[in-house]
A and B are shown apart, each in its own frame.
Chain A
Amino acid sequence: MTKTSRTVLWIFCSLVAAFVALPVLIVVPISFGETRLLQFPPQGFSLQWYENFFTSPQWLRATGNSLLIGALVALTSAVIGTLVSFAIVRGRSKGGPAVTGLMTLPLVVPNVIFGTALYGIFLQLGLTGTVLGFVIAHTVLAVPYVVVNVTSSLRRLDSRLEIASASLGATPLKTFARVTLPLILPGALAGGLFAFMISFDEVVVALFLGGAGLETLPLKMWSSVQFQIDATIAAVSTLLIAVTTLIVLLYAWLQAFLRRKATQ
């Protein structure tokens, strides 16, 4: 590759990188501006949009709902996903590939289809607008990601450690609790974090399940955007970006920790 074409490639890709990374950052200056309706570049500096958020009962309730649902989803999908991953990787039963296939279904079916279909049966079961309904729906969406995470960390794990433990007289349960679980725990935790993020950001399925009874943060954002897009939305978006960045850093740290553990 000649020097000129390399330079051209770099310029092109820098523009692509800017197109990918920069648009979302527009919400940061807007959230600190003084005017309610957008003005660009923003005038002055003010924290009133953050104050709006932190003093509004509706915004706070929606945030609380999302945190609660996200935490429950993280817990249930981490447990359920770890159990099934263990059976897929270590089980000698013939069901493994079929179960793996089943677990990928929620990944390939558009959420809008899943949302409408689930809405149909939730109406009959009385689960719309309930925390339980949200936890079930989001766990379905999150378990596949936990399975991907945990099966890959299980495959990296040296199975001779478990054989060694068994040969030293440990029962299968004891081997699982004392050897396997501590080794795959970072993978399961990472899967749980991922599950939390999926639940915390989910809006399409929530559009059907939520409503007057129960509003999550994305749902509240969605309804505010329909009504009037103003600087409070920018403040909430900025907060969300900050929080997810923190979670991603935590996730990266867990992955690094996992790799260090596995190579020891």
Chain B
Amino acid sequence: MSVDLTYSAPVPTLSGPGAGRRERSRSRGWIWYLLMAPAVLLIAIFFVWPVFLMAVESFLGPDLTLENYRTFFGSPIYTQVLGRTFGVAALVTVLCLALGYPYAYLMTITSGWKRTMLLGIILIPFWTSLLVRSIAWVFLLQDTGAINSLLIGTGVIQEPISMIRTMFGVSLGMTQVLLPFMVLPLFGTLLTIDSSLQKASASLGARPSVGFWRVYFPLSLPGVIAGSLLVFVLALGFYITPALLGGPQDMMLGQLIVQQISQVLNWGMGSAIAMVLLVSALGLIGLVGLLLNRHSRRADAG
């Protein structure tokens, strides 16, 4: 039976392993390109090409020019939006780090169902619609919203506090939306830190705070950097949450792009602002990637 099987089958090993592999890869090499083709063509035609055209558009006016960029960086209205976007992204990153670091740390020192529960909770917003979460914040923060109604109902305040259409509302909403992106990379890094290092520093007489700042925190830096980068870059491109929770005076870059293209119909300007946002985001990712790479190589060498 088994002899029959081996005989009837064109087993590659019969003609020698090397020969079989060579023959197979020559005859089937093109098939891999065929399998890649649909996805590669889709992304190339409908992602890379339009973004490239947009980059070209930003330099046209209609001749080749830097006019759009000169206008953008020369006008206080635009540079204010740029500064505010980076400011909000930085604030949200710091808030996420302040809330997320202790949370990720607690996840590493617990186990079993407690850790699963903490992880499950941080994943909830990951899975609920961004639009629904932003709308929920409107229900909470507006003048007739849940927080104001409760505070007035219990007599703590007489007049509603304005929280919606403010920078406070935007930062609060964005922090909640982006917190999982901080906690997950941090948790991954904190898990790899050997807890005996802290005990060692304590046994050598270091106070817990010294042990934390001199031993534990430096080791957690790759996670801190990765999480902060992710939150910061995502925050730079936010549109929905600031549009719902912020006022006209709290406009961010994403809203400015939409306004230029769909309301002012100034494609050149909108494209230029999009390129400023894109270069900031990709540039930051590249820069931090380079830093982390050097950091890990130094750690390997030392």
Q: A27-B136, A116-B257, A204-B240 are in contact. List 7 more A-B contacts (CB 8 A).
A: A92-B29, A113-B277, A143-B42, A167-B9, A225-B244, A233-B135, A237-B135
Beyond A111-B237, A140-B43, A169-B11, whether A121 also contacts B102 by CB under 8 A is no
Are the C-beta atoms of B13 and A167 separated by less than 8 Å? yes
Of the stretches A45-53, A100-108, A178-186, the one at the interface is A100-108
Q: Is the interface of B mostly helix, strand, loop or mixed?
A: helix
Which residues 243-302 of B sit at the A interface, judged by CB distance below 8 A?
244, 254, 257-258, 261-262, 267, 270-271, 274, 277-278, 281-282, 285
Q: Does B161 contact A (CB under 8 A)?
A: no
- For B136, give its contact among A23, A84, A95 (CB under 8 Å): A23
Q: Does B206 contact A (CB under 8 A)?
A: no
Give Cα A143–Cα B39 distance, bound, in whole angstroms.
8
Q: Is the interface of A mostly helix, strand, loop or mixed?
A: helix
Q: Does A262 contact B (CB under 8 A)?
A: no
Q: Across the A-B interface, how many residue pairs have beta carbons closer than 8 Å?
A: 246
Q: Does A189 contact B (CB under 8 A)?
A: no
Are the C-beta atoms of B146 and A121 separated by less than 8 Å? no
Are the C-beta atoms of B29 and A93 separated by less than 8 Å? yes
A residues contacting the other copy or chain, number (CB 8 A): 82
Of the stretches B46-54, B66-74, B184-192, B218-226, the one at the interface is B46-54
0/1 string, B28-45, CB within 8 A of A gives 1: 110111011011101110
Which residues 65-94 of A sit at the B interface, judged by CB distance below 8 A?
79-81, 83-84, 86-88, 90-93
Chain B interface residue bracket vs A = 35 or more
Q: Which A residues are CB-close (under 8 A) to B105?
A: 9
Beyond A106-B47, A201-B129, whether A21 also contacts B12 by CB under 8 A is no
Give Cα A115–Cα B262 distance, bound, in whole angstroms.
11
Of the stretches A35-43, A54-62, A153-161, the one at the interface is A35-43
Listed in ascending order, the chain A residues whose CB lies under 8 Å from chain B are 1, 9-10, 12-13, 16-17, 19-21, 23-27, 30, 37-41, 79-81, 83-84, 86-88, 90-93, 95, 99, 102-103, 105-106, 108-114, 116-121, 136-137, 139-140, 143, 147, 166-169, 172, 197, 201, 203-204, 207-208, 218, 221-222, 225, 229, 233-234, 237, 240-241, 244-245, 248
